[in-house]
Amino acid sequence: NNVFIKDCENKLKDKFEIAEEIAYFNQKKVLNAFSECRIALRHFNGTTGYGYDDEGRDCLGKLYAMAFGAESGIVSPHLLSGTHALTVALFGLLRPADTLFCISGMPYDTLRGVIFGENNGSLKDFGVNFECVDLKDGKFDFDAISAKFNDKVKVVYIQR
């Protein structure tokens, strides 16, 4: 049994080395972000919840942005999942009669109820229209996108 385990470890040694290199690279990015943002003990103090002068929240957003190579970041216990974050963004950007245009096929199933669910407070219930163009051979179908694009499109949604 021990021989089998050792044999497996030896066969996968190069894979483990790659994983360790990635982990080291990412750990270095995070530690550099902590250093660059000058994170200190005061950033972990509790707050009233109103966010006034909440230095920790602001620095945490900057830290995440730096660690992930993003322009900016929002880190909040009020955003519970990726779907929730996208929902908040879409409701913030779209108004009745606007169109959400998905140019990479149908959105994930978790987002479908948010977009065109009925009688659940969805974007559709709010009066937002939805258009979709499927990928063509795994790539954007620019002809179909051009045909459906119009002045009502306020958000173009692209999903991996």
pLDDT in tens, 22-44: 999 999 999 999 999 999 998 88
Q: Cα(first)–Cα(last) distance of the chain, in Å?
A: 42
- Rounded mean pLDDT, 108-120: 93
Q: What is the pLDDT of residue 9?
A: 93
Domains: count for the chain: 2
Closest to 59 in 3D by CA, of 34, 27, 84: 34
Please check whether residues 55 and 122 belong to one and the same domain. Answer: no
Domain residue limits at 122: 82-157
Q: Is residue 7 situated within a structural domain?
A: yes
Q: Is residue 31 situated within a structural domain?
A: yes
- Rounded mean pLDDT, 59-73: 92
Q: What is the pLDDT of residue 49?
A: 67
Q: Is residue 76 situated within a structural domain?
A: no
- pTM value is 0.68
Token look-up 């919840």 returns 49
Please check whether residues 51 and 98 belong to one and the same domain. Answer: no
Does residue 45 have a pLDDT over 90?
no
Handedness of CA 80, 81, 83, 88 (dihedral sign): positive
- Rounded mean pLDDT, 111-138: 96
Q: What is the pLDDT of residue 134?
A: 97
For the chain, percent of residues with pLDDT exceeding 70: 99
